[in-house]
């Protein structure tokens, strides 16, 4: 088989695609980021805005992105070029794919550092190092890790290597095999954690925090964060879902699979919130602790609870698994592109891309110590320098803008017959989805952007 076709292996079934895309969607975003940004933004009202963004913008754009991938049958750059030419417009639309590839590399660079914290904390939990932690000592523990670039680099390297190992093996024997093992385990671990949270007696308090809506707590920054997070959590706007879509069998329904993926992703985020906040409240801790929530607050809880070493290890194992199946999708677009255009072997491509992300990741590593600086964004103070810059640049700008471009291309540029032919929806459903992609999603996106950035 010529090299070029190796990257166009297909998932062996629809289930494999659903697992892989859910694996991409469910990650640090659900278990680390969602609870802490919910905590920072006051709970219920933020969750409501986030859910609305998922339904009105996320799901329709995910359908579009999968559709583009399956019709384009190549890496995002090649797919966008082919689709643009097919519809008789400029092949410069390929730039959209290229920007996506860059976004993936930027995200992976910091994603892998945070995932490295999780690998390190998994061992700490297993060794019983959480016993007797107080607010102060737990903070000092994370501070110690963050202030030690060598240690951070070590764990970042381990996680990068894990990711490269899977991606190098290809779609079926790498990606597919990994998600088939990791995703079911992830659900079991989450259920165990949820069971524990129910047993603390603070479950209702957790629910109330997540679902009691108080609009007074909703700031413009919160709305922008919710929008950015809807993209981040569904892995939208950068070609990861597009490239996964390009490996999807022709017969599988795009709408059905999208719904399943979005529902599972949302469920995991809510379940993670329901597993974490009761522990926070049971121990009298702070819900708005920020990025440290699962790395400072939870270890205190694990140190105090019965069987904490076991539950702590399971929790961080869950986080590592979730991050792993997402990281492989972050570097897949670049890997596919390199093997497609540079005639590189897939494994060489995977290692090359990982190396670039790893090297860039050193910037994030340093941002927690010597290179830290603070700045203001949309009214909030950010103190972790380049890490915050990268996070905001990608989740708040690149992904939503990528999503906007996907909506515009699908709704206004690509010929409707091709869209219809690939997405295969019934007349009525198609009409609704198409109008959402043409009008609702782009206008809402623009409105939220302009409004939240304070221009209107
Ligand atoms: N969806 C992942 C998460 O929630 O952690 C992060 C992510 C993966 C974002 C892949 C974008 C992406 F392309």
Atom 12 in ligand 1: residue holding the nearest Cα: 235
Determine the average pLDDT of the residues in 128-139. Answer: 90
Q: Which residue has the higher pLDDT, 27 or 341?
A: 27
Q: Give the pLDDT score at 432.
A: 97
Q: How far is the CA of 21 from the centre of ligand 1 (A)?
A: 10
Q: Is the pLDDT of residue 112 over 50?
A: yes
Element (H, E) at 235: none
Q: Best mutation site among 235, 272, 397 for ligand 1, i.e. most ligand atoms within 8 A of its Cβ?
A: 235
Whole-Å CA distances, 331 to 105, 231, 262, 407, 434: 7, 17, 21, 23, 30
Q: Which of 61-70, 123-132, 167-176 has the lowest mean pLDDT?
A: 167-176
Position 5 scores a pLDDT of: 43
Q: 24 C-alpha to center of ligand 1: Å?
A: 6
Instruction: Tell me the pLDDT of the chain averaged across its residues.
Output: 92
- Whether the per-residue pLDDT at 2 is higher than 60: the answer is no
332 Cβ contact partners less than 8 Å away, ≥ 6 residues apart: 104, 167, 175, 240, 243, 244
Angle at 352 between CA 349 and CA 355, to 5 degrees: 150
Q: Tell me what percent of the residues of the chain surpass a pLDDT of 90.
A: 73
Higher local confidence (pLDDT), 259 or 383: 259
Over residues 206-232, mean pLDDT: 90
Asked if 274 contacts 197 with a C-beta cutoff of 8 angstroms, the reply is yes
State which CATH number among 3.90.550, 2.30.30, 1.20.1740, 1.10.10 fits the domain covering 14-452.
1.20.1740
Task: Kindly list the protein residues whose Cβ atom lies closer than 6 A to any atom of ligand 1.
Answer: 24-25, 27-30, 104, 107, 232-233, 235, 238, 240, 326, 329-330
| 310-321 pLDDT tens trace | 989 999 998 999
Where does 11-163 show beta strands of DSSP type E?
none
Whole-model pTM?
0.93
pLDDT for res 451: 77
pLDDT in tens, 402-433: 999 999 999 999 999 999 999 999 999 999 99
The confidence band for 288, taking pLDDT boundaries of 50, 70 and 90, is: confident
The Cβ-side half-sphere exposure at 381, using a 13 Å CA radius, reads 3
Q: Using pLDDT thresholds of 50, 70 and 90, give the confidence band for residue 29.
A: very high
Q: Rounded to an integer, what distance in angstroms lies between the CA atom of residue 140 and that of residue 120? A: 15
- Domain ranges in the chain? 14-452
Tell me, what's the pLDDT at 455?
60
Q: Is the pLDDT of residue 365 over 50?
A: yes
Three-point CA angle 422, 236, 60, nearest 5°? 50
- Report the C-alpha gap between 149 and 179 in whole angstroms: 31
Atom of ligand 1 nearest to the CA of 333: 13
241, pLDDT greater than 70: yes
Looking from the CA of residue 28, the nearest atom of ligand 1 is: 5
Q: What is the pLDDT of residue 57?
A: 95
pLDDT number for residue 454: 66
Separation of CA 323 and ligand 1 centre (Å):
8
Q: Tell me, what's the pLDDT at 7?
A: 47
pLDDT score of 434 more than 70: yes
* Residue 160 in this model has a pLDDT that exceeds 80: yes
Which residue, 104, 65, 72, is CA-closest to 8? 72
What is the predicted pLDDT for the residue at 220? Answer: 84
Residues counted in the chain: 456
The pLDDT, as a whole number, for residue 8 is 64
């Amino acid at each position: 088989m010529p090299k070029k076709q190796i990257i166009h292996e297909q998932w062996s079934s629809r289930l494999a695609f659903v697992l892989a895309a859910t694996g991409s969607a469910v990650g640090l975003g659900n278990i680390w980021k969602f609870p802490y940004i919910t905590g920072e933004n006051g709970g219920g009202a933020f969750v409501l805005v986030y859910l609305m963004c998922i339904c009105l913008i996320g799901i329709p754009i995910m359908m579009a992105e999968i559709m583009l991938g399956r019709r384009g049958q190549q890496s995002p750059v090649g797919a966008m070029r082919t689709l643009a030419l097919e519809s008789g417009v400029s092949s410069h639309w390929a730039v959209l794919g290229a920007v996506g590839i860059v976004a993936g590399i930027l995200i992976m660079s910091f994603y892998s550092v945070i995932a490295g914290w999780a690998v390190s904390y998994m061992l700490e939990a297993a060794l019983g190092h959480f016993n007797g932690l107080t607010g102060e000592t737990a903070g000092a523990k994370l501070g110690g890790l963050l202030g030690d670039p060598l240690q951070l680099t070590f764990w970042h390297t381990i996680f990068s290597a894990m990711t490269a190992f899977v991606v190098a093996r290809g779609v079926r024997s790498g990606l597919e095999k990994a998600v088939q093992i990791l995703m079911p385990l992830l659900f079991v671990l989450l259920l165990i954690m949820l069971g524990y949270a129910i047993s603390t007696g603070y479950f209702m308090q957790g629910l109330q925090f997540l679902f009691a809506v108080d609009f007074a707590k909703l700031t413009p920054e919160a709305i922008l964060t919710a929008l950015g997070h809807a993209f981040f959590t569904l892995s939208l706007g950068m070609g990861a879902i597009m490239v996964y879509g390009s490996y999807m069998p022709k017969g599988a329904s795009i709408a059905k699979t999208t719904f399943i993926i979005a529902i599972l992703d949302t469920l995991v985020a809510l379940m993670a919130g329901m597993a974490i906040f009761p522990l926070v409240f049971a121990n009298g801790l702070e819900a708005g602790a920020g990025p440290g929530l699962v790395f400072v607050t939870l270890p205190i809880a694990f140190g105090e609870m019965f069987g904490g070493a076991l539950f702590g290890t399971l929790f961080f194992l869950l986080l590592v698994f979730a991050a792993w199946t997402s990281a492989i999708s972050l570097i897949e677009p670049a890997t596919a592109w390199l093997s497609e255009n540079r005639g590189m072997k897939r494994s060489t491509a995977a290692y090359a891309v990982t190396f670039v992300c790893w090297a860039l990741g050193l910037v994030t590593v340093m941002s927690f110590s010597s290179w830290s600086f603070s700045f203001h964004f949309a009214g909030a103070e950010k103190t972790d320098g380049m890490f915050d810059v990268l996070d905001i640049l990608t989740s708040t700008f690149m992904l939503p803008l990528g999503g906007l471009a996907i909506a515009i291309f699908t709704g206004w540029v690509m010929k409707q017959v091709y869209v219809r032919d690939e997405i295969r929806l019934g007349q009525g459903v198609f009409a609704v989805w198409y109008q959402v992609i043409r009008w609702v999603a782009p206008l809402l996106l623009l409105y939220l952007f302009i409004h939240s950035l304070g221009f209107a």
